[in-house]
Structure 1
Amino acid sequence: MRGSVSTGSKPAPSDLLHGTAVAALLVGNADSRSPGLVPQAELVAVDAFQKVAQDQRMDAFALIEALDYLTAQNVRIVNLSLAGPPNAALAGQVGQMAAADILMIAAAGNGGPRAAPAYPAAYDAVLAVTAVDRRGQVYRRANRGDHIDLAAPGVNVWTAASIRGARTKTGTSYAAPFVTAAAALLWQRDPSLSAAQLRDRLRASARDLGADGRDAIFGDGLIAAPPPC
């Protein structure tokens, strides 16, 4: 999200690379180099980003419009691989979605250990996901704070780099899909679970990392894949 965007002319559309990488992590293509975590899942993808110089940005109004659209599509789980400053209107939209029993999972942000909390991850109704490497070490640029809920792989994660190519990606944006995939598998097995119950199960099954118990770096710990049926 990176804050709001204001230009004198119509902004350029996003280059789709970030969204493609996140989507490929989730659903991918079984016959490609990016098979996906839940390849059979139905994905509703919304691109509300704009290209500003070499960056991809989104204003709060575009994000709210995108979330409102997803709500209208009756989605149950929303992956938010983006981060930005707090916004009162966005907080209201998040509250409405929580009341509609929608589970929201968001990237914690890549501002660094001393950065202020990033949103929407820092809202209470949203699961905030940080990134770790293969050794369970936190990504050096990941945001920290008491709002962090879970950790997931997000350092040198293999995924799509374009429509045809693939490469490794790093950041909390790429950690969030691992939690989203775990939530989707849990919900698939038991569609009666509420968003709150999904949250509780994901956090309760996490493997503790760092200091004993919940902490400001890893939250409740590393996301665990649901056991086979």
Structure 2
Amino acid sequence: MEVIRLSEGEATKSGAQHGTAVAALLIGASDSRVPGLLPGAELIAVDAFQRSGKSADIANIYDLVRALDMLVQRDVKVVNLSLTGPANAVLEKSVKAATESGMILVAAAGNDGPNAKPVYPAAYDEVIAVTAVDKGRNPYRRAVRGDYIDIAAPGVGVWTAASISGARQKTGTSFAAPFITAAVSVLIAGDPDMSHESLEAKIRQFTDDIGKPGKDPVFGWGLLNASRLCESISDTKPSAL
């Protein structure tokens, strides 16, 4: 795993808990209690955040755009965006440029509540928006809902790294997104040039429609069926993240 920090100075260093938990879900560690969804996969983590106050981490649009551009230059095919914010024209343009280059963006749907306004980058058309469900297939009570929701994945009480060491349960759409990021990586392993439309059609084959028939604002196309996906691609290898 390679970590790239965009900001300089120890005073502005972002917290490690959130990013470590997401990274652990994706690639884990063979000698830990969190083996990861794609153990051994190549992961590049770009830290575009800075600490604000005692516990909040924030990122400005300039750094988010720099991060995306950096990953485009590195020819990264799949990007996990466990972050949310308001709409921004500059970010929207950057997202479009990234996806036009062939990059697949997967983002958390947001935890502002079911009646909240759409959050970004998940709500951009080019991005796969992921919501969270619990082990009973019920929607996470704080997950944002809307027509932009594409797919659901486990995100309530997910076991992952707590910070630098140890593990605990985590809840939120940020922790559902890595499940879809891993699935996308596996799906495009055999066809790196797969279009966004083809990928969407492909991943829909591995979802269980658990809401209203068809796409709905709570679960999108449905809940990812990881078991069926793994059975179908047991002979392939994941793409670089």
* Aligned CA distance change for structure 1 residues 10 and 90 (closer, same or farther; 3 Å): farther
Aligned partner of 2:208 in structure 1 is 207
After superposition, where does 1:97-116 map in structure 2 within 5 Å?
A: 97-116=98-117
User: Which string of whole-angstrom CA distances, capped at 9 and with x for unpartnered residues, describes residues 35-82 of structure 1?
Assistant: 000012111111111111211111111111111111111011110000
Q: Which amino acid aligns with 1:64?
A: V
Q: Which amino acid aligns with 1:227?
A: C
User: Match of 1:32?
Assistant: 32
Unaligned 5+ runs, structure 1: 1-8
Note the C-alpha offset of 1:195.
3.5
In structure 1, give the amino acid aligned to 2:99: A
The percentage of aligned residue pairs carrying the same residue is 53
Residue type of the alignment partner of 2:140: Y
Number of aligned pairs? 221
Distance 2:196 2:158 in 1: 27
Deviations 1:92-141 (A, max 9, x none): 00110111111100000001011000000000000000000001001100
Question: Per the alignment, do residues 11 and 116 of structure 1 end up closer, same or farther by CA in structure 2, a change over 3 Å counting?
Answer: farther
Query: 1:179 — aligned with what?
Result: 180
TM-score, normalised to structure 2, is 0.88
Secondary structure of 1:139's counterpart equals coil
Aligned to 2:75: 74
Offset, 1:10: 9.4
The SS at the match of 2:160 is: strand
- Runs of 4+ displaced beyond 3 Å: 189-192
Q: Which is further off, 175-184 or 205-214? A: 205-214
Of the structure 1 ranges 9-18 and 116-125, higher mean CA displacement relative to structure 2 is found in: 9-18
What CA distance in whole angstroms lies between the structure 1 residues aligned with 2:214 and 2:195? 25
Instruction: Please tell me whether the aligned partners of residues 106 and 121 of structure 1 are also in contact (alpha carbons under 8 angstroms).
Output: yes
CA contact (8 A) 1:149 1:203 kept: no
Pairs within 5 Å for 1:35-74: 35-53=35-53, 54-74=55-75
> Quick one: which amino acid aligns to residue 20 of structure 2?
T
> Match of 2:150, SS?
strand
Paired residue type of 1:78: V
CA contact (8 A) 2:131 2:176 kept: yes
Q: Secondary structure at the match of 2:207?
A: coil
Aligned ranges 1:92-171 → 2 under 5 Å: 92-171=93-172
Flag structure 2 segments of 5+ consecutive residues without an equivalent: 1-8, 235-241
Cα-to-partner distance string for 1:156-194 (whole Å, 9 max, x where unaligned) = 000001121110100000000000001111122333423
Give the counterpart letter for 2:169 in structure 1.
T
CA distance in 1, matches of 2:199, 2:51: 34
Is the contact between residue 207 and residue 221 of structure 2 (CA under 8 Å) also seen in structure 1?
yes
Q: What is the Cα-based RMSD across aligned positions, in Å?
A: 1.5
Displacement of 1:24: 0.4
In structure 1, distance between residues paired with 2:64 and 2:197: 23
CA distance in 2, matches of 1:122, 1:10: 33
Aligned mates of 2:200, 2:68 — CA distance in 1: 19
